Amino acid sequence: MAPRHPDDPESTEPNSPSIEAAFQAAPPEMVTEILGGELHLSPRPARAHTNAASRLGALLSMPFLFGRGGPGGWVIIDEPELHLGPRPDKLVPDIAGWRRERLPRAVGGEDAPAHYDLAPDWVCEVLSERTRRIDKVQKMRIYAREGVRHVWHVDPIAQTLDLFRLEGRHWLLVETFAGDERVRAAPFEAVELELALVWSE
- Got the DSSP string for 32-65? EEEETTEEEEEEPPPHHHHHHHHHHHHHHIIIII
What does each of the 201 residues of the chain score in pLDDT, given as a tens digit? 333 444 455 667 889 889 889 888 888 878 888 889 888 888 787 888 999 999 999 999 999 999 999 999 999 999 999 999 999 999 999 999 999 999 988 877 777 888 999 999 999 999 998 889 999 999 999 999 999 999 999 999 999 999 999 999 999 999 999 999 999 999 999 999 999 999 998
Phi, psi of 153 (to 5 degrees): -115, 120
Are 159 and 199 in contact, with CB atoms under 8 Å apart? Answer: yes
* Assigned CATH for 46-199: 3.90.1570.10
- Got the DSSP string for 142-199? HHHHTT--EEEEEETTTTEEEEEEEETTEEEEEEEEETT-EE--TTSTTS-EEHHHHH
Q: Name the pTM for this structure.
A: 0.90
Are 91 and 33 in contact, with CB atoms under 8 Å apart? Answer: yes
Residue 98 CB neighbour total at 10 angstroms: 20
